[in-house]
Amino acid sequence: MDLDAITAIDVHTHVEADGAHHCSLDQELLDASAKYFKPGVNRTPTVDDLAEYYRERNMAAVVFTVDARTALGGHPPVSSEEIAAKAAEHPDVLIPFGSVDPHDVGTAVARITTLARDYGVRGMKFHPSLQGFLPNDPIYYPIYEACAEHGLVTLFHTGQTGIGAGLPGGRGIKLRYSDPMLLDDVAADFPTLTMILAHPSVPWVDSSISMATHKANVYVDLSGWSPKYFPPPLVRNINSLLKHKALFGSDYPVLTPDRWMADFAELGIKDDVMPLVMRENAIRVLGLDRPTGR
């Protein structure tokens, strides 16, 4: 990747379909998500779609799916191996992350090793609410040990989710699993594990701010919410204590980077902070100036 040619790095984008048009979410969840977010773009992009979209904008993007096979009653995700292999065809703009079903810990650990060693992923994506697991339960600690061993960044969904929104019981998806304070245990117990708390963590934004300012290994991404709805404490801290900890993310396709950046430009972010959030922090956190396979 020619970093000099990249104007911004979106650390949070979803591959929602593979080449055979299989989606990681079932149709009910896709429809509910589309109703909640009203994205106005292709809701189920493939890896090739994402590469074309971000290349047109001179931007790079972290791409992933969420493996929630157990929690979704056996519905298989888009293959992380396929995502990584396809992303390797677009190394100028795409940065692959993997995802594993945490409920089969042994298999998850083995797949993390394979994805890191053989497919060159730079991180792993977790969604505690969608995947239906309590992330600070020590039963899952071998998963984090494997991520730390291979130098992988861990990206955790936090706060409200549009997945299941508006459905009876939210389709059984429990928001409390995505309380960022549960991840404070993980950050304390794995100090060499780089962790990104995804989204503004509503209604727990203060918790994420506290964690990112307290733990050197914790960062926040700003995806999934239009910046015009950011809680004021978050905006203040982006301009100060979080200026080296905050990362641009859109949550594409449910929120486009075009809309996100237009709204972010209206927040009064300082001139010296803007390039940190949009690009420089991600280069450092993702190790884009270092080779994979550490």
- The answer to whether position 122 is within a domain reads yes
pLDDT attached to residue 32: 84
CA angle 155, 58, 9 (to 5 degrees): 20
Quote the crossing angle between the two packed helices 141-149 and 181-189, to the nearest 10°.
50
- Residue 48: what residue type? D
Band the pLDDT of 30: cuts 50, 70, 90. Answer: confident
Which residue is associated with the tokens 């429990």?
174
- Residue 124: what residue type? M
Cα separation, 219 vs 19, whole angstroms: 33
Residue 28 corresponds to which tokens in the numbers above? Answer: 């009910």
Beta carbons within 10 angstroms of residue 226's beta carbon = 13
Which secondary-structure segment (H or E) carries 18? none
- Residue 54: what residue type? Y
Residue 288 corresponds to which tokens in the numbers above? Answer: 């884009």
| Domains in the chain, number | 1
pLDDT attached to residue 44: 82
Which secondary-structure segment (H or E) carries 118? helix 105-119
- Is the per-residue pLDDT at 294 higher than 70? no
Tell me the per-residue pLDDT of 114-169, one tens digit each, with 9 for 90 and over: 999 999 999 999 999 999 999 999 999 999 999 999 999 999 999 999 999 999 99
Band the pLDDT of 291: cuts 50, 70, 90. Answer: low
pLDDT attached to residue 292: 54
What's the mean pLDDT when you consider all of the chain?
A: 95
Band the pLDDT of 38: cuts 50, 70, 90. Answer: confident
Grouping H, G, I as helix, E, B as strand and the rest as coil, residue 76 is coil
CA angle 114, 120, 212 (to 5 degrees): 100
264 CB contacts (<8 Å, ≥6 apart)?
222, 227, 248
Cα separation, 93 vs 54, whole angstroms: 7
- The answer to whether position 112 is within a domain reads yes
pLDDT attached to residue 90: 97
User: DSSP code of 98?
Assistant: B
CATH code for the domain in which residue 116 is found: 3.20.20.140
49 CB contacts (<8 Å, ≥6 apart)?
42
260 or 36: which leads in pLDDT: 260
- The answer to whether position 101 is within a domain reads yes
Cα separation, 286 vs 94, whole angstroms: 12
Tell me the per-residue pLDDT of 160-199, one tens digit each, with 9 for 90 and over: 999 999 999 999 999 999 999 999 999 999 999 999 999 9
pLDDT attached to residue 216: 98
pLDDT attached to residue 31: 83
- The answer to whether position 292 is within a domain reads no
288 CB contacts (<8 Å, ≥6 apart)?
1, 3, 9, 95, 282
CA dihedral 103, 109, 115, 116 (to 10 degrees): 140
CA 208 to chain centre: 15
Q: Provide mean pLDDT across the span 214-221.
A: 98
Burial 111-137 (b: 16+ CB within 10 A, else e): bbeebbeebbbbbbbbbbbbbbbebbe
Residues spanned by the domain of 239: 3-286
Q: Provide mean pLDDT across the span 102-110.
A: 98
Band the pLDDT of 21: cuts 50, 70, 90. Answer: confident
Cα separation, 170 vs 167, whole angstroms: 5
The DSSP code sequence of 100-159 is --TTSHHHHHHHHHHHHHHH---EEEE-HHHHT--TT-GGGHHHHHHHHHTT-EEEEE-S
- The answer to whether position 22 is within a domain reads yes
Q: Provide mean pLDDT across the span 80-105.
A: 97
- Residue 9: what residue type? I
- The answer to whether position 255 is within a domain reads yes
- Is the per-residue pLDDT at 33 higher than 70? yes
CA 201 to chain centre: 13
- The answer to whether position 281 is within a domain reads yes
Q: What are phi and psi of 155, to 5 degrees?
A: -115, 115
- The answer to whether position 234 is within a domain reads yes
